[in-house]
Amino acid sequence: TANYVELVCFQVSEDYRHQGIGKKLFTMICEEAMRLGADKLYISGHSSKESQAAYQALGCRHADEINEILAEKEPFDVQLEYIL
């Protein structure tokens, strides 16, 4: 079992998208997660095509280990992970 850190909220306002801000924020999040000793980020991501495309562009993939509590809480979210 991997040591996960959950990414609870990640959003860039529409006016600031496509400027590299999301990628920079995600990099900072990953650095902090590694500092905390995590192997992976766990993301319960919105199921919209735009959100999924953004996570895929960052290198996220479908989670190997599903957090059942989060999956039940948000049944339409897509359970993702990012290997640090």
pLDDT tens readout for residues 31-78 = 999 999 999 999 999 999 999 999 999 999 999 999 999 999 999 999
3-state secondary structure (DSSP) of residue 12? coil
- Exposure string over 32-45, b if 16+ CB within 10 A, otherwise e: ebeeeebebbbbbb
Q: How far apart are the first and last CA of the chain?
A: 14
Q: What residue ranges do the domains of the chain occupy?
A: 4-83
Tell me the CATH number of domain 4-83, given options 3.40.630.30, 3.20.10.10, 3.40.50.11610, 3.40.190.10. Answer: 3.40.630.30
- What per-residue confidence (pLDDT) applies to 2? 82
Helix (H, G, I), strand (E, B) or coil at 80: strand
For residue range 11-32, list pLDDT tens digits in order. Answer: 999 999 999 999 999 999 999 9
Tokens read off for 2: 């991997």
